[in-house]
């Protein structure tokens, strides 16, 4: 059995500065060529609309599209042809996602900050959103659910999906079925930066939306970054990540399987084990080698381990958790004896799975939590996709005569201090003595 090639293996304290920096700095570095290429695609779609999209389908997806939009009849056919067990699983997942995300809708807040001065913060759904469901190496109907169902739970009237076309000119059958099960309104056979451009700017076939959400490759991520000033986007979501936190009581094979599960997504996936036990570290390494020997996607996994895989040994749990907080993984799997208390000490993970039974795979598909999460350490700043991404808040300010009279003098003083006399006049005109 061949040993596993890892980017890093050893004690945390012995990592050199360059290796540590590479583990922590996983965000794609600025690529002027990529940024320029994406900007050109955005500009082309903005200028030429559908014609540009059709040409891009031939160029990037190697398919000639007869139509950009997938008709609803095709969705219904896809549902009818779907394996009944897959259909039942998608429906169960949609139910759980809907229940959890509906519960996240914020309540209206109304407060009388002073007598006769009441401020209310209210929430309203966006009118129209676009969900990107990636394609390429696999079909991702689960990503359709994660994008569409929360939007519908939030009350968004129109939810559109874009997903890359396959050889047939349409996304995979599972994606079409997921659109029907999730309650999407329209589906377009579009992928990459062109899809983001179509949603952001609108074309003859694709209406402009108010938000674009969903994971994608570096072209999609860069396109979302560039259109962020035009509309709302969710967090930048790149290649999958998992960090497994283990101690001397952790199950080595389960830890290895968590790493394999994320590694099989993409050669750029980041998979790390941090443990306080040398024995567990060695056992996980052996388990990885055994799994790779028979895994159908072994080549992809092996590349991921070589590029961003690591098995690291911490002196104690304090050192381990400090590293986890600095690493800020997309997925954190805590398999320690004190899993819940250890998990609570980590504040930077996109989502955390507590205990040996809590595989990340459950959250990827069925628990109801969202699997669209910040990657590359961005969990320090961003949250995962939630109902809040589909809502906007606004304030209502009720000021009666008594409240206006009480505030006028102070408002005038501040306005004069800022050199804005008309502001002062507008306020003092509301005084009762005027």
- Environment class of 32 (CB within 10 Å of its CB; exposed 0-12, middle 13-18, buried 19+): exposed
Q: How far is residue 9 CA from its own chain's centroid?
A: 29
Q: How far is residue 314 CA from its own chain's centroid?
A: 30
Q: In terms of CATH architecture, what is 8-28+238-383?
A: 3-Layer(aba) Sandwich (3.40)
Give the Cα separation of 295 and 260 in Å (integer).
Answer: 9
According to the 3-state scheme, what is the secondary structure of 280-321? HHHHHHHHHHHHHHHCCCHHHHHHHHHHHEEEEECCCHHHHH
What is the pLDDT, as a whole number, of residue 28?
72
What is the pLDDT, as a whole number, of residue 143?
94
Helices (H) and strands (E) in the chain — how many of each? Answer: 17, 14
CA distances (Å), origin 419, targets 285, 356, 414: 68, 63, 9
What is the pLDDT, as a whole number, of residue 236?
77
Give the Cα separation of 332 and 244 in Å (integer).
Answer: 6
91 a catalytic residue: no
Which residue is catalytic, options 285, 330, 371, 418?
330
Residue spans in the chain of domains classed CATH 3.40.50.1980? 8-28+238-383, 32-105+126-233
What is the pLDDT, as a whole number, of residue 282?
97
Which residue is catalytic, options 331, 371, 418, 423?
331
Give the Cα separation of 57 and 54 in Å (integer).
Answer: 5
331 a catalytic residue: yes
CATH domain 32-105+126-233 topology: Rossmann fold (3.40.50)
Which candidate, 29, 24, 133, 27, places its Cα nearest to that of 372? 133
Tens of pLDDT, residue by residue, the chain (434 residues): 668 999 999 999 999 999 999 999 987 766 789 999 999 999 999 999 999 999 999 999 999 999 999 999 999 999 999 999 999 999 999 999 999 999 999 999 999 999 999 999 999 999 999 999 998 666 789 999 999 999 999 999 999 999 999 999 999 999 999 999 999 999 999 999 999 999 999 999 999 999 999 988 889 999 999 999 889 999 877 789 999 999 999 999 999 999 999 999 889 999 999 999 999 999 999 999 999 999 999 999 999 999 999 999 999 999 999 999 999 999 999 999 999 999 999 999 999 999 999 999 999 999 999 999 999 999 999 999 999 999 999 999 999 999 999 999 999 999 999 999 999 999 999 998 66
């Amino acid at each position: 059995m061949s040993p596993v090639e890892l980017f890093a293996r050893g004690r945390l304290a012995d990592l050199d500065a360059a290796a540590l920096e590479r583990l922590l700095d996983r965000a794609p570095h600025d690529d002027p060529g990529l940024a320029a290429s994406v900007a050109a695609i955005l500009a082309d779609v903005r200028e030429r609309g559908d014609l540009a999209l059709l040409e891009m389908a031939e160029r990037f997806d190697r398919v000639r599209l007869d139509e950009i939009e997938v008709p609803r009849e095709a969705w219904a056919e896809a549902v009818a042809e779907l394996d009944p067990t897959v259909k039942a699983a998608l429906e169960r997942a949609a139910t759980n996602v809907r229940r959890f995300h509906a519960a996240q809708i914020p309540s209206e807040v109304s407060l009388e900050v002073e007598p006769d001065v009441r401020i209310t913060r209210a929430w309203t759904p966006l009118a129209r959103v676009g969900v990107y469901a990636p394609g390429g190496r696999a079909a991702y109907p689960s990503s359709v659910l994660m994008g569409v169902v929360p939007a519908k739970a939030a009350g968004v009237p129109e939810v559109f999906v874009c997903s890359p076309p396959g050889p047939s000119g349409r996304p995979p059958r599972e994606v079409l079925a997921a659109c029907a099960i999730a309650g999407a309104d329209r589906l377009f056979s579009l992928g990459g930066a062109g899809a983001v451009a179509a949603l952001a700017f609108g074309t003859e076939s694709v209406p402009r939306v108010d938000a674009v959400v969903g994971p994608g490759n570096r072209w999609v991520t860069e396109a979302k970054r560039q259109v962020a000033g035009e509309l709302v986007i969710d967090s930048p979501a790149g290649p999958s990540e998992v960090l497994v936190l283990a101690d001397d009581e952790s199950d080595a094979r389960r830890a290895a399987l968590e790493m394999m599960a994320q590694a099989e997504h993409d050669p750029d996936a980041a998979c790390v084990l941090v443990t306080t036990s040398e024995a567990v570290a060695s056992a996980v390494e052996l388990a990885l080698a055994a799994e790779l020997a028979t895994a159908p996607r072994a080549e992809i996994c092996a590349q991921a381990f070589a590029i961003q895989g690591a098995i690291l040994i911490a002196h104690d749990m304090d050192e381990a958790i400090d590293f986890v907080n600095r690493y800020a993984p997309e997925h954190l799997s805590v398999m320690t004896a004190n899993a819940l208390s250890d998990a609570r000490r980590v504040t930077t993970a996109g989502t955390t799975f507590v205990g040996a039974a809590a595989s990340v795979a459950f959250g990827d598909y069925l628990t109801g939590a969202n699997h669209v999460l910040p990657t590359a350490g961005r969990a320090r700043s961003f949250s995962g996709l939630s109902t809040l991404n589909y809502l906007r808040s606004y304030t209502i300010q009720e000021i009666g005569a008594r409240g206006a009279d009480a505030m006028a003098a102070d408002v005038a003083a501040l306005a004069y201090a800022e050199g804005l006399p008309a502001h002062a006049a507008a306020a003092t005109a509301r005084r009762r003595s005027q």
